Amino acid sequence: MIRLIKGFHDILPDETPKWGFIIRTAGETLERFGFREIITPVMERTELFERGIGQVTDIVEKEMYTFEDRSGDHLSLRPEATAGILRAVVEHSLLRREPILKVYTIGPMFRRERPSKGRFRQFFQINAEVLGDDSPFTDAEAITAAHAIMTNIGASGLMMEINSVGCQQCRDDFRAKLRRFLEPHLDELCPDCRRRYDLNPLRILDCKVDRCREIAKDAPVISDSLDAGCKEHFHKVQEILSLLEVPFRVEPRMVRGLDYYTRTAFEIIHEELGRSKAVGGGGRYDTLLKELGGPDASGIGFAIGVERLAMGMREEDPSYARRTDVYVAILGEKAREAGIRIVNSLRRQGLSAETRYSGMSLKAQMKVADKVRAKNVLMIGDDELARQEVTVRDMQTGDQFRISMDGIACYLQGDKR
């Protein structure tokens, strides 16, 4: 038997109704906020992610699935969606058509990180981006859209953790302060963080090694290095979120894991998930489009992990539990042709219908009807054929009725006269 690749996972039929509900709800919510769907390839040139995400990140240094194809090109499976979306925006000049562009995509991403509960090497994300507007109102609206997705899916215990990571000048000042703080502890840092000290010390604040985390908890916070413009921007974001009644708290040590963020950064906290509370996050990026060869336009985006989100939802829920309108129980050889005609007629009329053709007993077929959560069971055998009727059982009440074959669809669609 050939087994699944380590870190990948199958989404089985019992799970797909929940996943479908999440994806539909996210798409419908984002459409109400004015976002339109964009679909980009799962594979891009490696250079795109090195430039877009930053070479001094765990994603680029350790986690990307990268290979050289037969033409000698270096290609990578996408570890996140923003770089690919911005590549498409630049390549197709989308901002010339719409100075403010709102797009979303939902699909798989790939990172070779250590698998754990809710964390896989192929994982699905809901991603949304707003391009061309640097207003704090847009930041607040993006955070509100992320919160609305979670609320509409039915998640509770939600909190949006927010911070400002400042502009380039703020971060230069903060890096200098951070290096001064970390210098006496250099020998205590892990090898990766000792290298990050020179290249990008902010990454040390994201390190998961216990000693590095212990040292970092006493490090200066970036909010103390914000200039007047960044402070004003962040204050306005908080003011608007309060106006919109979106629950949030300021987390001054949040820097997020990607190099391109500027000013507003945030995480979506789902308190019901225990230790794995963060299901997504995002932030503003004011220079990334230009760095990728596009116009000098700002952006803000976010991503929500579908696996993490699905973990916090019940296995069975009326919102997404699969139901079948009718199960057709075929009793006897003579009824088989009539049964298949009825099943397919009902499907053509918009009803979900299921049956079995293998000569099962009525008792066995009623078990199948329970398994597919049929609302009604329609029984057809020799007696029903002779009368040109069927027997219909309402599976909720247990009531049974005889219905003419011509009136089956009307009855099932609500006309029960």
Binding annotation: 80-82, 111, 125, 129, 256, 260-261
Answer yes or no: are the C-beta atoms of 203 and 220 closer than 8 Å.
Answer: no
| CA separation for the pair 60, 192 (Å, rounded) | 13
| CA separation for the pair 254, 244 (Å, rounded) | 23
Q: Which residues are annotated as a binding site for L-histidine?
A: 80-82, 111, 125, 129, 256, 260-261
| CA separation for the pair 39, 20 (Å, rounded) | 17
User: What sign does the CA torsion over 104, 106, 110, 111 have?
Assistant: positive
| CA separation for the pair 237, 73 (Å, rounded) | 43
Answer yes or no: are the C-beta atoms of 284 and 265 closer than 8 Å.
Answer: yes
| CA separation for the pair 25, 148 (Å, rounded) | 10
| CA separation for the pair 260, 146 (Å, rounded) | 20
Where do the H-state alpha helices sit in 9-164? Answer: 16-32, 46-53, 58, 82-91, 94-97, 136-153
| CA separation for the pair 400, 176 (Å, rounded) | 79
Locate 144 and state its tokens. 């509100």
Tokens 């502009």 appear where?
Answer: 167
- Judged on CB neighbours under 10 Å (0-12, 13-18, 19+), 70 is exposed
DSSP state of 271: G
| CA separation for the pair 128, 103 (Å, rounded) | 6
User: Position 53: which residue type?
Assistant: I
